[in-house]
């Protein structure tokens, strides 16, 4: 409980004790009305002074119609009518409801604040003379050497230059399995170092590092509201003035028409104001989405805003990139096929040197097959051609490594090739040198993830890939996908998404799932872009609407289940709150209910709606 909550609780207890003491005293001793008023004003101001102050400030700043104004008018009016105990009771129960709401919001914020713990407090910067000084992460330039001691957070993205250890990535991925790192390993900020001393060379500024981007994304998620939240905001904007006018009419019109009974109708009008307070809706609906986003973050699912949470609930078509999404993206050279007069070693060396500057998984697999340190001085004039491959000068000779389209572009004839996998053709000085067969591995949970999506109501699953037809067909059949399109360039993927968007049914949404590195245009074009396996990917965090902080594709269906449950709870609260309030308003206008019913209709409904909203925090039940 926060300091502010403790202070409010103390005020509630003090006011409640005084209130009960005055009630008891009035039962034992006859107290004149003016003395009784003075006595009840003490607990009233103790518990309600902040509400009165906010109401006055609202009037001064032109923001009259809010819950503070309604409560102030209703309770002050009740005091004027001589209903002293009811006035204090209404204010007391209202503050109890506000405290409960504050506690519930605080509980839902905890999952977000737990994520905020990944923020590094400082960085240990190693200087040229070997000494280590503690500095602010914002002050660390690119290329600096940082020392990360056991138990410390990795402050900035970088590459390990010395030491071996395990990293705890639970705060980022929701998974407890540690990750082993060694010299050459790329590590991202936000992870917690295990039992080894690490030295890393920073590759980014803190403001551009993974942890900074994630924190910025989560902190700004509340700015992107769902349609249900916008509805409540607009509803409250028109609803509150309307009920104030309704209460005024209820207080004036019946006595004028029926004659007399002014105090009775004014009392009903004040009860009408208490009941009409839209606290349950204004509080519980945003809380439902906030709790949903917070609960999802515990599982390593980062959702940029409640509008995307709402969009996920209506996804019926899921489109996947293949490499790094449905497959592990850890390629391995499984076949070396040199042309006549070329050795295996020469073919692999030429391809590895040409690919030496690329970070693409296929390039990494070729360099791994080469298995020797690469002398960067041997490579010049590198050009990476998206969707084709690379060209470079190696030892002064022109080398091209890529797919058949690249060879065709260069006017080089390639032989017919068989085998399931990615084919990398190599040409040296304009002559065909052979090809490498590279295979990717389907992720262990991909097939289960596709089945889970279909079980959850997804109508169509589609795979888009730049790989050849045989590779795409084999993966699609293995996973049970409904549709696949192979041999696509990055621009072709956008065209395919446009076709699928045109084919979808009304009120259906399309989600694209990619690794976030080469798929930014498609992630942006889909109704909701989901970045898979995007740990540390700038493009994913920037372009995607939802970022899954590990490689498990099963998190997609979990995110959809969370979103659908969140929408269900939001609509439950809207219907429940409006139904109860409408009933109580009618009964009040008819004189059947009194101020105590007003307390239930306002505070009671709010408490029940908030309790319902906090169910979103327990996302384990949706797994």
Residue 400 to residues 360, 397, 466, 591: CA-CA distances in angstroms?
A: 16, 10, 18, 88
Neighbours of 106 (CB within 10 A): 14
The verdict on whether 321 is a catalytic residue reads yes
Asked if 326 and 475 touch (Cβ cutoff 8 Å), the reply is: yes
Catalytic residue among 66, 157, 321, 519: 321
**Angle formed by the axes of helices 446-455 and 469-479, nearest 10°:** 60
Give the CA-trace dihedral at 57, 61, 67, 73, to 10 degrees.
Answer: 60
Cα separation values, 356 from 183, 203, 245, 351, 367, Å = 18, 18, 74, 8, 7
Give, in order, the Cα–Cα distances in Å from 218 to each of 72, 112, 136, 297.
Answer: 36, 8, 22, 9
Residue 418 CB contacts under 8 Å (≥ 6 apart), including other chains: none
Residue pointed to by tokens 């549709």: 483
What are the tokens at 318? 């899921």
Beta bridge partners of 529: 512
Give the tokens for residue 99: 């405290």
Burial class, 483, CB count within 10 angstroms (exposed 0-12 / middle 13-18 / buried 19+): middle
Asked if 553 and 325 count as a contact pair (C-beta separation under 8 A), the reply is: yes
Bridge partners (DSSP) of residue 338 are: 434
Cβ-count burial 52-74 (b if 16+ within 10 Å, e if not): bebbeebeeeeeebbbbbbbbbb
What are phi and psi for residue 484, nearest 5 degrees?
Answer: -150, 155
Helix 67-80, helix 227-258: angle, nearest 10: 20
User: Catalytic residue numbers?
Assistant: 321
């Amino acid at each position: 409980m926060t300091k502010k909550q403790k202070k409010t609780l103390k005020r509630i207890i003090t006011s409640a004790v005084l209130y009960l003491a005055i009630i008891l005293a009035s039962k034992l001793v006859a107290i004149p009305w003016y003395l009784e008023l003075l006595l009840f004003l003490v607990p009233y101001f103790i518990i309600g002074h902040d509400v009165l102050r906010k109401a006055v400030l609202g009037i001064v700043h032109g923001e009259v119609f809010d819950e503070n104004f309604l409560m102030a008018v209703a309770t002050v009016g009740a005091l004027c009518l001589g209903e002293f105990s009811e006035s204090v009771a209404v204010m007391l129960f209202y503050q109890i409801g506000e405290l409960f709401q504050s506690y519930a919001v605080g509980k839902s914020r905890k999952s977000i604040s737990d994520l905020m713990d990944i923020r590094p407090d400082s960085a240990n910067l190693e200087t040229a003379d070997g000494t280590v000084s503690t500095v602010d992460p914002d002050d660390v330039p690119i290329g600096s050497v940082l020392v990360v001691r056991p138990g410390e957070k990795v402050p900035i993205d970088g590459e390990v230059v010395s030491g071996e250890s395990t990293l705890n990535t639970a705060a980022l991925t929701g998974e407890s399995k540690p990750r082993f790192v060694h010299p050459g390993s790329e590590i991202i900020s936000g992870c917690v170092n295990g039992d080894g001393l690490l030295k890393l060379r920073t590759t980014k500024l803190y403001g551009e590092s993974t942890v900074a981007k994630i924190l910025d994304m989560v902190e700004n998620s509340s700015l992107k509201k769902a349609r249900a939240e916008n509805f409540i905001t607009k509803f409250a904007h028109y609803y509150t003035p309307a009920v104030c006018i309704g209460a005024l009419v209820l207080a004036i019109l019946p006595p004028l028409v029926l004659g007399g009974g002014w105090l009775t109708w004014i009392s009903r009008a004040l009860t009408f104001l208490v009941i009409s307070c839209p606290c349950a809706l204004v509080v519980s609906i945003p809380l439902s989405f906030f709790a949903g986003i917070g609960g999802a973050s515990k599982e390593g699912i980062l959702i940029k805003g409640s509008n995307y949470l709402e969009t996920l609930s209506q996804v019926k078509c899921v489109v996947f990139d293949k490499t790094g999404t449905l497959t592990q993206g850890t390629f391995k050279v499984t076949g070396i096929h040199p042309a006549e007069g070329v050795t295996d070693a020469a073919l692999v060396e030429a391809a590895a040197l040409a690919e030496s500057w690329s970070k693409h998984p296929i390039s990494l697999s070729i360099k791994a097959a080469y298995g020797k340190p690469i002398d960067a001085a041997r490579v010049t004039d590198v050009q990476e051609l998206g969707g084709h491959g690379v060209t470079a000068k190696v030892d002064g000779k022109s080398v091209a490594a890529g797919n058949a389209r690249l060879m065709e572009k260069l006017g080089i004839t390639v032989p017919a090739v068989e085998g399931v996998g990615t084919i990398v053709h190599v040409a040296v000085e304009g002559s065909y040198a052979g090809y490498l067969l590279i295979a990717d591995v389907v992720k262990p949970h991909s097939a289960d993830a596709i089945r889970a999506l279909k079980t959850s109501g997804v109508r169509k699953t589609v795979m888009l890939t730049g790989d050849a037809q045989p590779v795409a067909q084999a993966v699609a059949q293995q996973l049970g996908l409904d549709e696949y399109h192979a041999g696509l360039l990055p621009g072709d993927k956008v065209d395919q998404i446009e076709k699928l968007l045109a084919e979808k049914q009304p009120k259906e949404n399309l989600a694209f799932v990619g690794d976030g590195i080469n798929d930014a245009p498609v992630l942006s074009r889909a109704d909701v872009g989901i970045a898979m396996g995007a740990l540390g990917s700038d493009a994913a965090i920037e372009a995607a609407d939802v970022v899954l902080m590990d490689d498990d594709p099963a998190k997609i269906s979990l995110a959809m289940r969370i979103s659908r449950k969140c929408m269900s709870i939001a609509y439950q609260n809207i219907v429940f709150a409006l139904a109860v309030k409408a009933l109580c308003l009618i009964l009040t206008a008819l004189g059947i209910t009194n101020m105590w019913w007003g307390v239930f209709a306002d505070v009671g409904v709010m408490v029940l709606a908030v309790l319902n909203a906090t169910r979103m925090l327990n996302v384990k039940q949706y797994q």
